[in-house]
Amino acid sequence: MIAKIKNTFVYLSVALLSACGGGGGTSSPSSNPSAALLAITPSNYVDVATESVAGANGTSDASSLGTNLVGAQISQFGSFGLKRVALSTATTLLDNWAVFNNPTIVGAVTQRTVNCSGGGTVSASVNDADDSSTANAGDSISATFTSCNESGLLVNGSLSIIINSYSGNLSTAGSASLTMAFNNITAGSDAINGSLTLVASKSIGTSASVTLTMPSMAITSSGNSLTYTDFNLTASDSGSSVSLTMAGNVSSLKYGGSVDISTPSTMTIDSSNRVTGTILMAGKNGTKARLVGQGTTSILIEADTTGNGTYDTNTTVTLASLGL
């Protein structure tokens, strides 16, 4: 699924950079397909922990987190990589705004429709609110895919992005805040639907951070669907370590329910891939699972499957198995 969604936005970039297309789209938040809290058991606690964390974060390891923050790499592990989709789209848009906002068309709104190579169209619209030909607060872009066939991948749906603030350049040193809405975008059998606010910053060197705030976001792939409700994620890279916090509700069709996630202590990975911190998943009737960094390159996953406050089952997993 990651490759398919990545290709969707790669084609959007190509279409806009070559023609600066017309149309638009808004998003209605996704409904949670399995809102009831799940009872965490010895048979599902590992899936609950790994699916929930890897799906939202979507990074591969500590050394590549900084590059992932500007969309240069993508993990092949993990279910969905929401952070990668949002960042790659934002970086392409902001760092190429002068090209997106075609200066040969007079006026604040630039729009056009282009044909996809295998049939169908992409229509896009750029609203340069202050007519400055640079990305500023209040500017926006929207795009609609209509049976767009590229390299055998059929894409439908729409997206819209509003710039809340932007300075510098996200590929080198800069900061941005964007509101992004994905309206039933499908790429083959995969789909993304919902809205988020992205706040990202990049400093000269390796320092970088990104925060995703998701009122409701659903991504479907390979027969599974994850829905994030009132969910927040922050990942940062200080140059010597990376850290991750997350909170909110995550539901999965794969494990048939939802869990409430919190971060009692920030999960941190140092330059030697040693992990500290805790991420907690709370389920039905007091059952819970948690990821616990041990100060080593392994992570303990343990579960309280009776709800009595005692963690009665556990296993140890590698950093890579969590998409971290």
Does the pLDDT value for residue 102 go beyond 70? Answer: no
- Give residue-wise pLDDT tens across range 240-292: 888 889 999 999 888 889 999 999 999 888 888 888 999 999 999 999 999 99
Which of the pair, 253 or 84, is modelled with greater confidence? 253
- Give residue-wise pLDDT tens across range 224-244: 788 899 999 888 888 788 888
Q: What is the sign, positive or negative, of the torsion defined by CA atoms of 246, 251, 255, 260?
A: positive
What are the residues facing 262 on neighbouring strands? 280
Question: What are the strands, taking DSSP E only, across the chain?
Answer: 109-115, 121-127, 140-150, 153-169, 173-187, 190-202, 208-221, 224-237, 241-252, 257-270, 275-282, 288-293, 298-304, 313-318
pTM for this model (two decimals): 0.76
Amino acid 288: pLDDT: 96
Residue 222's alpha-carbon distances to 191, 194, 254, in angstroms, are 10, 19, 10
Q: How far apart, in whole angstroms, are the C-alpha atoms of residue 195 and residue 33?
A: 16
Structural tokens at position 25:
């789209």
Amino acid 47: pLDDT: 87
SS (H, E, C) 115-157: ECCCCCEEEEEEECCCCCCCCCCCCEEEEEEEEEEECCEEEEE
AA letter at 158: S
Q: How far apart, in whole angstroms, are the C-alpha atoms of residue 163 and residue 321?
A: 35
Does the pLDDT value for residue 139 go beyond 80? Answer: yes
Amino acid 84: pLDDT: 58
